[in-house]
Chain A
Amino acid sequence: MRVTDPATRELLWNGFQSVVDEMALLLQRSSFSPMIREMLDFSCGFLDAAGRLVADSCLIPAQAGTLEFALAGVLARTGPLSEGDVVVTNDPYSGATHLPDVELFVPVFVGDDLIGYVATVAHHVDIGGISARNRGTSPGQTNASRDLYEEGLQLPPVRLHQGGIRNDALWEVLLRNVRDPDSVAGDIAAQLSACRRGVERVRELAGRHGVTTIHDAIDDLIDDTSARAGALIASWPQRTVSVAGFIDGDGLHYDRPLRVQVDVTVRGDRLIVDLSGSSPQTNGTFNVPWSSTYSGLYYALRCFLGTGIRQNHGYMRHVEAVAPSGSLFNPRRPAAVVSRHMPVQVLTDAVFRALGELLPEQAVAASHVSFPVLLMRAVDPRTGAEKTLMDTVGGGGGARHGVLGDDGIDSYTSNCALVSAEVIELEYPWRVRASEFVPGSGGEGRWRGGRAVRRDYELLAESAAGRVACEQRVPAHAARGIAGGASGAPASIAVRRGAGTWREVGVEESSITVARGDVVRMTAAGGGGYGAVPLIGEELRLGAAQAEDQTSDAGNSTAGAGAASRPSNGTGWQTR
């Protein structure tokens, strides 16, 4: 520890950051998948020779948190890498996330010295499997994947390039197994360019500072972060808090929600999260690969460590997850995992609540985790080509003491951007009729929860078929308020046929077909409120009852009581 001087350490920290930022910029700008280029669903990282994360592009924590696991999976399979090697993988059971997220790792050498690895992970437009763009947030329909084989092409960690030469056989197999080979080829080329740039930049840093200094500075930066994180965690109340959250259903059945049970223990300078009380692994697509389980925990912990913590391995070593093999958060191959994002978000939310209980000063109300997804195919009458539109809208953020919840955001481990309505109408046979906040959707409270966004999509083609899905349609699973604040409004999906009336799409019915002129309405969930609403006059009794309800519920592990008392009309209490 402390082998580099403070200036060199800071210089190299800035240097590593700009390496990954530059990789990210390059990847985004030259990519084809709308998930990468418009929603920014990708991440770049730099890891050291020991496989520890040194810096990441801070775009999608759900991806960045898996890089160490994926690299370990790579090295376990390929053995040490050489100059000119490029390894590709998307294997959730070797540390990757889900199959559409393709990860590339490239070693950085200076002479014979291995400095580390640069990595990119990006959500591709298609990776084969039983359904185009197997986004996975698509429960209910008969053609949902039941195992990993149905989810697409599996790439165990394999060398795409060896000693600078591409493995053309692998390349052809890869492109033959996807529906949009041009896009996949383009995006892998973009990832490769980003990695090459990263390699050059790390080499440049090593050339300037010397290899030994680079290694020392990395050790120092990680140890420093660890010391900070450890000191903070050790100062927290040393006890266990238990919280539960829920997924509306397992994707096949909606009579019984999936349970996300977290028993969070602070022990010394470590955070132990026991998930043993969560549901067993399911036949649906909601299973969470081990690395993704950790990515949710890393994210939640980092948020409670404050802004003085560097985004590197240093704080990650203070987290330990416990989950039996064969359970929701530690499934066995070949369980389907494509929808892992939903339970990761619910897990993150539950850990937020547990930590908020331990550290009331830092507690925030729950943000939505609804992630409504519209994924529909239609033939564009302008070109005759079949186009698959995928879009998602944001919901409400949780309110904070003194700060309203954010309106219209993606939440926790994800930060997808909203796709422009003009881009949608230019590229797809759909017209966005409205893109707006839902009044009253933020949970009431002294500080109101964030409002949800809803989007209305009118079909301009003959017909369209596909899937619509979201979480938090069950009111009991809505984003919870704290300190007396109410839950946000649940999410919903509705369809209007022609000039008819709106019809709600039920949770178990997510494959739909619509015709020209029909409108699909996707509505995210609102955020939870903070604190009881200040009381006046006639509302006193109702409000007091509500506040009591909320307070008694605060440490409780069952969801739903807060949602039940949510006032139906939200407009009266907004603090803004």
Chain B
Amino acid sequence: MSRHVVAVDIGGTHTDAALLSEDGRLHVEKVRSTPGDPGSAMIAAIDRLLVVAGLRLDEIAAVVHGTTVATNAVIEGDFARVGLFVTEGFEDILDIGTQQRPDLYDPWRAKGTGIVPRERVHGVRERIGSDGAQVVALDEAQLRTIARDMRGTVDAVAVAFLFSFVEPSHERRAAEILREELPGVPVTLSSGVAPEFREYPRAATTALNAALLPRTGGYISRLDERLRAAGFLGVFQLMTSAGGVIPASVARNLPVSLLVSGPAAGAIAAADLGRWLGIDDLVMLDVGGTSADVALVQAGSLRRRYRGEVAGMPVALPQIDVLPIGAGGGSIARTDEFGSLSVGPESAGADPGPAAYGTGELATVTDAHVVLGTLDPAGLLGGELPLDPSRARAAIEAYVADPLGLDIERAAGAVVRIANGRMAEALRMVTVVRGVDVRGCALMAFGGAGPLHAAAIADELGISRIVVPRYPGLTSALGLLVGDSRYEIGRTHISPLRAADHTRIDALIRGLSAEVSALVGGDEDDTPRVGVDLDLRYAGQAYELTVPVSDDGTFSAADVDRVEARFHRAHEDMYGHAWEGAIVELVTVRVRAGLPRLAVDWSGTHDLPVHDAAVRSRVGRDASGATITYAVVDRADVREGLRGPAIVSQPDTTTVVPAGWYVVRTSPVGMVLEREGS
């Protein structure tokens, strides 16, 4: 079988596709999305790639897809009708939640309710104890009766019983009964999706999976069929929030695992791009229209986190640790009657969009850039999106300059500074919480607006190196191409680390290994590699740190000293102190299976331009209002040694190179800027 891989990232307006051939050639395409029938744009983009690459669809080994279908459903609250079964006495679990109010100082802000209306939540007589022993037998007759009455009123069902992470037999038997009584209705079990302790996040994750399953599952199946109909013979895969790739057949039953796959793909790409450039420590800044994502790549790898949240709901599944913030090109700048200026988190989005787009009225970060001359007044996306500078000026004047008594340029400068400050705080957050000094990291900036802000943010953070990828608008697609097949499941098993029952843990690891390996796929040539991580804490704490144990699927008594020492170190790094003599407690065993993609070197296959570049110039202003004359250079024409002040333009982004910065390196992977004298 060939090793050619295609990635397709379907967004709201554009569908990005990339093809990496087994000999390391990379091709990219961007087509307009077809929201009514997303598969059309996908096939169109793939067809164009195949023509350019001279390949046929039946020669493609894998199509990897990143989708926001599940994410959008969550944001829009577009959920299937779910029947939720819980242990009797816990029927209100989703509505009680953590019991915390979202805004203490706003008595009008409602706490909100769970995604399953209370009348569709049913308590079942059953109980498993904390040790896994049966306390109350599963009342099968009761369950059967409820299920029967439910026929025709639900699209999916979920089961979240107490202590099912210790002993899943009640949940599994319940699933059998539900399948008999509700044929064709998909069943999600908490012991299958997120077998970890704490009933509320587990139940919420399980219910959310069920609520997303019919629509997302259907979407994935239709795309799969579409590809098959066009002659595709390889595997169709999706990326998860944890940055791993799983087969579509698995993904369609686990939509909750896809919720933040877009940011995860961007982060995977950032790590991979860094690898090709030999940069192992970097911070990622991906700035889009409404928000920005930041992440830390430390020693070439990304961090995962296990207590995530999507749209205010807990999601007890691993995610790549990407921090989203409400600051983007469309973020709205406002002043109030007391002369305070704020930027975001409200966004004008793409519709109505910034004032300069022609329909919006409010002042946005993009408008501020137009005023400052950093964005090309002729338009974005190679002219596809024209800009109206007079509208941008009018908006900044009306909403920022006049109320603050500033001139328009200074007002625009203030807007950009505040946006920069918010992004810089986020970058500081993701590094400082890991005990990492951000000044030692490179800043990798992409997305439509990342490279516009990168140098100013780098100056603020004391970062002296910036990377702008060659395809800053296609990083998600690139992340899909290079992501390994990977899945992991954690299972709670609480005991002192030194008193761990290795026979039981071995059995647990074997069970999880089989489970994750099946989820990842693979064939007889390619068996997944299984690794083990442990979540550990000091006895008495409630938050764990994840410590890697092995990459061969084992954890034995001989590993305990090493693992414990590693935990002390991790605690010291994270919190500034360790308790060497204290009892270390094992909380969760995590098993991951991975099948690495064939590492294809695509980094050296593009020729650099040889012709002499036409140099244009544009006059802009800096944040203090002073005039700057930028050299304006097309990305394809950028040479090493290009000195700021300069603007590098390309259809999908604009890079500002301020005075004091210069281009130290260009490569097909990306362009590296450094501060002079650093």
Contacts and interface: CB of A to CB of B under 8 A. Distances in A.
A32 B414 contact: no
B198 A422 contact: yes
A398 B99 contact: no
Contacts of B184: none
Interface in A283-319: 299, 302-303, 307-309, 311
Contacts of B540: 32, 182-183, 186
B92 A421 contact: no
B145 interface: no
Given A26-B575, A417-B98, A397 B197 contact: no
A228 B338 contact: yes
Interface string B229-272: 00000000000000000000000000000000000000000000
Contact of B338 (A8, A227, A407, A422): A227
A443 interface: no
Interface stretch (B51-59, B102-110, B589-597): B102-110
Interface in A416-460: 416-418, 420-423, 425-426, 431-437, 453, 456
Interface string A160-173: 00000000000000
A189 B577 contact: yes
A433 B87 CA distance: 9
A418 B129 CA distance: 20
Interface in B395-448: 404, 413-415, 417-418, 421-422, 425, 428-429, 432-433
Interface string A208-222: 100000000000000
Contacts of A378: none
B624 to A, nearest CB: 10
A409 B100 contact: yes
B79 interface: no
Interface residues of B, number: 67
B510 interface: no
Overall SS of chain B's interface: loop
Given A32-B540, A422-B162, A422-B197, A7 B414 contact: yes
B91 interface: yes
B541 A30 contact: yes
A308 B108 contact: no
B2 interface: no
Contacts of A476: none
Interface string A372-405: 0000000000000000000001100110100110
Interface stretch (B339-347, B523-531, B613-621): B339-347
A516 interface: no
A14 B425 contact: yes
Contacts of A426: 130, 197, 494
Interface in B333-372: 335-336, 338-343
Contacts of B199: 420-422
Contacts of A417: 98-100
A522 B340 CA distance: 47
B659 to A, nearest CB: 20
Nearest to B416: A7
B43 interface: no
Contacts of A15: 421, 425
B107 A364 contact: yes
Contacts of B91: 436
B414 A436 contact: no
A259 interface: no
B129 A30 contact: no
B108 A403 contact: yes
A418 B111 CA distance: 14
Contacts of B577: 30, 189, 192-193
Most chain B CB within 10 A, of A14, A25, A422, A432, is at A422
Interface in B105-162: 105-108, 110-111, 113, 129-130, 135, 162
B200 interface: yes
A14 to B, nearest CB: 6
B37 interface: no
A499 to B, nearest CB: 15
Contacts, number: 198
A525 to B, nearest CB: 14
Contacts of B276: none
Interface residues of A, number: 80
B96 interface: yes
A14 B89 CA distance: 43
B163 interface: yes
Interface string B85-99: 000111111011111
A270 interface: no
Contacts of B336: 308
Contacts of A100: none
Contacts of A37: 541-543
A7 B579 contact: no
Given A7-B414, A29-B543, A37-B542, A420 B576 contact: no
A189 B580 CA distance: 14
B584 to A, nearest CB: 13
Interface in B557-598: 571, 574-577, 579, 582
A28 B544 CA distance: 11
Contacts of A398: 107
Interface string A1-38: 01001111111001100100010011011111010011
Contact of A10 (B89, B341, B433): B341
B460 interface: yes
Contact of A406 (B105, B110, B417, B623): B110
B576 A193 contact: yes
A197 B576 CA distance: 9
B101 interface: yes
Given A7-B341, A11-B418, A183-B540, A436 B575 contact: no
Given A418-B96, A453-B96, A9 B104 contact: no
B538 interface: yes
A40 B543 CA distance: 13
A515 B603 CA distance: 71
A208 B417 CA distance: 14
Most chain A CB within 10 A, of B93, B422, B540, is at B540
B198 A307 contact: no
B573 to A, nearest CB: 12
B542 A38 contact: yes
Contact of A6 (B89, B101, B200, B339): B339
A228 B108 CA distance: 20
Contacts of B135: 431
Interface string A450-477: 0001001000000000000000000000
Most chain B CB within 10 A, of A9, A30, A204, A435, is at A30
Contacts of A196: 576
Interface of A: 2, 5-11, 14-15, 18, 22, 25-26, 28-32, 34, 37-38, 40, 58, 61, 182-183, 186, 189-190, 192-193, 196-197, 201, 204, 208, 224, 227-228, 299, 302-303, 307-309, 311, 352, 364, 393-394, 397-398, 400, 403-404, 406-410, 415-418, 420-423, 425-426, 431-437, 453, 456
7 contacts: A6-B339, A10-B340, A31-B541, A192-B577, A299-B104, A299-B105, A308-B336
Given A7-B341, A22-B433, A431-B135, 19 more contacts: A10-B343, A29-B541, A29-B574, A34-B542, A61-B105, A182-B582, A186-B540, A189-B577, A208-B460, A299-B105, A398-B107, A403-B110, A408-B111, A417-B100, A423-B197, A425-B129, A426-B494, A432-B89, A437-B92
In the A-B complex, list the 7 residue pairs whose CB atoms are closest, starting with the nearest: A434-B89, A7-B414, A37-B542, A11-B421, A418-B99, A406-B111, A29-B543
